[in-house]
Structure 1
Amino acid sequence: MAGRKSKFFLFICLALLLGLFTFCGGSYVLHKTSETSFCLSCHTMQAAYDEYQGSVHFKNQKGIRAECSDCHVPQAPVDFLLAKMRASKDVYHQFVTGKIDTPEKYEEHRLAMAQTVWHQLKQNDSATCRSCHQFDAMDIQTQSADAQKMHNLAIKEKQTCIDCHKGVAHFPPEIKMDEKALGALLSEAKQTAQDAKLVYPVQPVKLNELGMAYPAAALKVLKSDAAGREVELNGSQMKGAEQVIYLEKGQRLILATLTEQGEQTLKINADFTKDEYDNEWRPVTLTATITDPVLSDLAPLWNYAENLDNVYCSGCHAKISSKHYTVNAWPAVAKGMGARTDISPQDLDILTKYFQYNAKDINNH
């Protein structure tokens, strides 16, 4: 009986030792494989490391460095193990498929890899970011004006870090606009039926000798023939800026600019009245002839603008609803953001018009 108890006790001790060895050994392996040196043992990670070395997460005035695992491996036990399980596919591709074993392959898959990480961070509320950065630990009042505005917005709308901070340690993927998209839009404009009753410019169009109408301006067709379309443009004119036709009183969305002849031809529909800022406005109508291609529906133009938004805006930060700003605020916002990209002036104008026409204080346009 005593011998049986001794064997059972010995078995328990061995099981405990084996369990302890397995736990400690497993923990050691899991944490050693989280070290940056281990990540770099795969040569395919060298490109990512080179980019990381040029980031503020590698070197900064505070002397604080975020290693690979600090950003890519959550510390919560379950999330930690899930991250390790997902990482096994990287080992597979490293030694079996060679999926990103050349610079060309790496660039080919950069967008997909980035989107995978962005999705994971979105799902876990940027857990690894928040291990260092917390809204309630920020002295927001000492931040730059832009940072204050965006962080207060993020708190209000319950956004997470990755919504805005993409590409902070690695180069963001280059999302390109389809080079043929604008051409296709113009081709569609050329197919607009002769009897269309309401048309919209894709690009600035000449109002014969009277001025220029801009993208999305609603032009009512009065008459159409082989020589062109006679159109009517209704809007508002502000005292002191008589060469411009705006959308409505107090709303500085430019529909058209006028030549001197255009100003003289303009039909005045009522006297000047003041807005809440004491600017004086009056409703006006311009009748002119156009010969340039125009759309009969705004949907294709807005689809193009949404693609511009996805390429030039949402690739860096969370999509900002057009309803977030007023019609008068959007031009400055779009211009400031556009300066950080290589968007063309023509595309920026279309994108700005999209935001303005869909701004929070615009209705029925």
Structure 2
Amino acid sequence: MKRLNVAAIAIVGIFIGWLTLGGSAAVMHYTSSTEFCLSCHSMQIPYEEYQGSIHFSNAKGIRAECSNCHIPTDLMDYVITKFRATKDIYHEFVSGKIDNEDKYEDHRLAMAETVWEQMRQSDSATCRSCHEIGAMDTYEQTEEAAKMHEYGVANNQTCIDCHKGVAHFAPEPELDSEAFSNLMAYSESTDPNAEVVYAISPLSIGELGTINPTTKMLVINANGDERTIRVEGYQMRGAEQVLYINQGQRAIIASLTEQGQQAIAFGEYQADRYGNEWRTASLTGPINAPVLESQQPIWDYAEQLDTVYCSTCHAKIAAHHFTVNAWGPVAKGMGDRTDISALDLELLTKFFQYHAKDVAGH
């Protein structure tokens, strides 16, 4: 009888354990399915975005489900993620936090940043469950993609640093207009007798042309905002309508009218190693606009632009990663993908160019 009792207890225990563990596993598996995710009304917006992504439809016919990207396979991370997800049930049925499109957009950035941080902490483990850097055939990638993957590995970046909008729309970047107002406010403290000043925005230099933002200007004389200044740079033969920051470095600091081209003081042409001919050039004329004594407030503002318009989609790229000449088309190409203003893009581009790897000291 004792043996029968022990056997019965063991069988009951095994049965209960099977129900508990098996049932828990079944529940965990079911609540990880895309169908379960979509049972929440608030998930319709991200689902529609996902349907337009390469993770939903592609030439290989391979589909990544919600769980493939959002639920780690490591046991402890898996359990933590499932526990953390209980808040989604609360917001779906109690708070109604994102139960319509307007609310969803209001919280898009905060939700995205939460997921991005979780993926950084796991070194993008869910991405790496399918994608392995060592298995990539870089010859099948574009030259730009191959370079960025090499850069990411060298700088210890993780997948999500650059692929933030891979399955869902990235938050719309937007910088508060107050930031630019604060930049302009710095001009109020510019010393009227400052011998060197910098342009905040494009400035007319009389009828001679336009000075680009961030350009250094040597003050000849001043009367309030009215100043006579001199801009020094370089001209390239065949492109005399502009002044460049330096020989061989195509960062434009001023654009000249025909009258301005006639007013230039210049040196002798000298050929660079590529056969292009350059000469020193300076232009003196009047300006009447707010200016700064230092470029630093502009660089501080540009770093905010970098955070909002660049690192919303990918990790920040150090300014010294590219040369002056490379930054021009890179910044323009990226800027075309956002709604950044022309002035802000110019300030951001000049920040990169003035800190590029071929500028003295970098």
Whether the TM-score (by the shorter chain) exceeds 0.5 is: yes
Letter matched to residue 230 of structure 1: T
* The 10-residue stretch of structure 1 (272-281 or 286-295) with the greater mean CA deviation from structure 2: 272-281
The alignment status of 1:294 with 2:291, answered yes or no, reads yes
Residue 111 of structure 1 deviates from its aligned partner by 0.7
2:125 alignment partner in structure 1 = 127
Paired with 2:13 and 2:85, the residues of 1 have a C-alpha distance of 30
Supply the distance in 1 between the matched residues of 2:359 and 2:145 (Cα, whole angstroms): 27
Aligned to 2:201: 203
Alignment partners' CA distance in 2, 1:167 and 1:249: 39
Alignment match, 2:155: 157
SS of match in other structure, 1:329: helix
What is aligned with 2:258?
260
Task: Name 1:20's counterpart in structure 2.
Answer: 18
Q: Give the counterpart letter for 1:267 in structure 2.
A: A
Q: Distance in 1 between matches of 2:347 and 2:168?
A: 30
Taking every aligned residue pair, what percent have the same amino acid on both sides? 52
Find the residue that maps to 1:176 and give its secondary structure.
coil
**Distance in 1 between the 2:254 and 2:241 partners?**
9
Whether the 8 Å contact between 2:225 and 2:290 is mirrored in structure 1 is no
Could you tell me how far apart the structure 2 residues matched to 1:343 and 1:105 are? 24
Can you list the C-alpha shifts for 1:251-288, whole angstroms capped at 9, x where unaligned? 222111223333333333x4333322232223233222
Whole-angstrom distance in 2 between the partners of 1:228 and 1:85: 65
- How far apart are 1:352 and its partner, in Å? 0.9
Partners of 2:91 and 2:308 lie apart in 1 by 29
Aligned mates of 1:191, 1:206 — CA distance in 2: 22
| 1:180-227 residue CA offsets vs partner (Å, 9 max, x unmatched) | 433443344355332222211111111222222111111122211147
> Paired residue for 2:322?
325
**Alignment CA distance shift 1:196-1:364 (3 Å):** farther
Q: Secondary structure at the match of 2:17?
A: helix
18 and 301 in structure 1: CA distance in 2 versus 1, 3 angstrom threshold: same
CA distance in 1, matches of 2:337, 2:187: 30
Q: Does structure 1 conserve the Cα–Cα contact (< 8 Å) formed by 2:225 and 2:289?
A: no
The 3-state SS of whatever aligns with 1:342 is coil
Aligned equivalents of 2:225, 2:184: Cα separation in 1: 19
Letter in 1 for 2:42: T
Cα offset, 1:148, TM superposition: 2.4
Q: Describe the SS at the equivalent of 1:162.
A: helix
Moved more, 103-112 or 259-268: 259-268
Query: What is residue 283 of structure 1 aligned with on the other side?
Result: 280
Q: How many residues align?
A: 362
In structure 2, relative to structure 1, the CA distance for the partners of 1:153 and 1:9 (3 Å cut) is same
Q: Look up the match of 2:30.
A: 32
The answer as to whether partners of 2:242 and 2:254 remain within 8 angstroms in 1 is yes
Q: 1:329, CA displacement in angstroms? A: 0.8
Q: Secondary structure at the match of 2:241?
A: strand
Label 1:271 to 1:98 Cα distance change in 2 as closer, same or farther (>3 A): same
| Aligned CA distance change for structure 1 residues 286 and 124 (closer, same or farther; 3 Å) | same
Where structure 1 has 5 or more consecutive residues not aligned to the other structure, the ranges are none
**Aligned partners of 2:51 and 2:57 also within 8 Å:** yes
Query: Among residues 350, 353, 356, which one is paired with 1:353 in the alignment?
Result: 350
Worse-matched range after superposition: 183-192 or 98-107: 183-192
Residue identity opposite 2:75 in structure 1: P
Contact 2:173/2:338 (<8 A) preserved = no
How far apart in 1 are the matches of 2:100 and 2:224?
Answer: 57
Q: Distance in 2 between matches of 1:185 and 1:257?
A: 24
C-alpha change, 1:133 and 1:293, in structure 2 (3 Å) is: same
Query: Which residue identity is paired with 2:139?
Result: Q
Matches within 5 A, 1:25-104: 25-104=23-102
Deviations along 1:17-47, one digit per CA (max 9) or x if unpaired, are: 3223211111111111101111112111122
Quote the residue 1:237 is aligned against: 235
SS at match of 1:310: helix
Aligned residue number for residue 107 of structure 1: 105
Q: For the residues of structure 2 that align with 1:138 and 1:8, how far apart are their CA atoms?
A: 57
Cross-structure match for 1:169: 167
Q: Following the alignment from structure 1 to structure 2, what is the Cα–Cα distance between the partners of residues 45 and 265? A: 64
For residue 125 of structure 1, report the CA deviation from its aligned partner. Answer: 1.3
Worse-matched range after superposition: 13-22 or 344-353: 13-22
What is the TM-score with the length of structure 1 in the denominator?
Answer: 0.92
Q: Secondary structure at the match of 1:242?
A: coil
